[in-house]
Structure 1
Amino acid sequence: MRLLLTSGGVTNPSIRTALVEMLGKPIEDSTALFIPTAQYGHPSCTPEVTLRSASSDWSMTALGWKSAGLLELTALPSMEGERWVPWVEQADALLVDGGDATYLAHWIRRSGLLKLFPRLERTVWVGVSAGSMVMTPRIGAEFERWTSPEPGEGTLGIVDFSLFPHLDYPDFPENTLAHAERWAEHIDGPAYAIDDQTAIRVVGDDVDVISEGHWKRLE
């Protein structure tokens, strides 16, 4: 799977260009599934927020896709795989919204989606905030709001670095670089602090930063 790990989504032309390059074709010729599941694990996410995230003009579903649908991971265990697995396999992109990363990781596992990852070599995972953090090995206590019923269950560890999103976001006064640096002191391994104009692209072993804003690699 190809990863476009963002803080705020496809927020500028540089990130959009990177997405098109990863898709290998125009967005207008590509299909996507929007995954809002992480929102249900975060206390700040309301039904109204979830609806706006899926349908507003600034939503990732409004980028001009050939088609875009919704994939709710909490529903998948009650469905036959022969019904929903083709939806995932046929999508060019999975648009994974923010919320709580641990909650999202739990449902990626429980739904069976994680088992499909090895088959999704050309699929682009576009993460927003927790939708990006879920791919990291750890998120730190500052971002742990939901406790999994499975002991020791954490994020997925698909990449080997951690993420501190929404750097210097006006509505999150605690998300300063100084706070990110303190957070990184307790993270075992490399990390990036990124603002909402920044994305990290991962294709195979290649990792690069796409930004029209500011970011910092933290060791």
Structure 2
Amino acid sequence: MKLLLTSAGISNTSIHNALVELMGKPVAEANALFVPTGLYGVANGGNVARRVICGTLGDPYCDMGWKSLGLLELSALQTLRQSHWLSALQQADALLVGGGDCQYLTYWMQQSGLADLLPSLLQKIVYVGLSAGSMIMTTYGTTYGNHTLPQESKKSLGFVDIAIHPHLDYHAFPQNSMENLEQLAATLSMPSYLIDDQTALKIIDGEIEVITEGNWKLVELM
């Protein structure tokens, strides 16, 4: 399984190079699919998704010169024949899973059937998470609660037994100070990676490598 779990996208040369290495080809020769579903759980989510796709919000992600870019809307897949959308996935080099609400994104990953397909798909395709899109691959997720899902719905898929706390020391999220995130990490039952927007985790079959041009910290279990 090949994962590139970012805080904010392909924000620097080191993360870009890690992506190219995982794909085995330059971005300009690679096909990508973008999953916007988790963004609907945040305020003005539809417009946020549009801006991420157009490249007018955040770091490079969708708008970074892909050979082709398609959309994979998870909430629509349950009513479509699997053959209609699975072929596009199988032809992709990268699955770009956007941020937003972990609980909402996890729910539709499961309901669409994509969660069950990921272990086999990710032997070939690179999973590139952004914020919540990264967190759901771990055993820890969060929620904004802007939806009507049952409270007990899962907030992550648990493919990697760690927690990721993105946007470390980011001005728009004052609650994400190093001190606050360290206190949160101390309450969890798994190792926590506190990462800023210049940091990502490259994971190949469970082996974790920190890719960074910024600041991060690993809080391990006592």
Deviations 1:98-125 (A, max 9, x none): 1011111110000010121132112111
Distance 1:71 1:106, change over 3 A: same
Aligned to 2:156: 155
Write out the 4+ residue segments of structure 1 that deviate beyond 4 Å after TM superposition: none
Matches within 5 A, 1:106-185: 106-120=107-121, 121-139=123-141, 143-146=142-145, 148-149=149-150, 151=152, 153-185=154-186
The answer as to whether partners of 1:97 and 1:130 remain within 8 angstroms in 2 is yes
Q: Distance in 2 between matches of 1:8 and 1:133?
A: 12
Q: Percent identity?
A: 46
Deviations 1:147-187 (A, max 9, x none): 74374523100001001110010111111000001111221
Aligned to 1:25: 25
The answer as to whether partners of 1:52 and 1:59 remain within 8 angstroms in 2 is no
Q: Offset at 1:46?
A: 3.1
Q: Distance in 1 between matches of 2:44 and 2:198?
A: 22
Q: Which moved more, 1:149-158 or 1:201-210?
A: 149-158
Q: Offset at 1:47?
A: 2.3
Aligned to 1:39: 39
| Gap regions ≥5 residues in structure 1 | none
The residue identity in structure 2 corresponding to 1:15 is I
The answer as to whether partners of 2:11 and 2:60 remain within 8 angstroms in 1 is no
Q: Distance in 2 between matches of 1:191 and 1:45?
A: 30
TM-score normalised per structure 2 = 0.92
Aligned to 1:48: 47
Aligned to 1:9: 9
Q: Calculate the aligned-residue CA RMSD, in Å.
A: 1.5
The answer as to whether partners of 2:143 and 2:155 remain within 8 angstroms in 1 is no
The answer as to whether partners of 1:45 and 1:99 remain within 8 angstroms in 2 is no
Q: Distance in 2 between matches of 1:183 and 1:205?
A: 24
TM-score normalised per structure 1 = 0.93
Q: Offset at 1:59?
A: 4.4
Q: Distance in 2 between matches of 1:154 and 1:63?
A: 29
Deviations 1:9-58 (A, max 9, x none): 0000000000000001111111000111001122x343221210111254
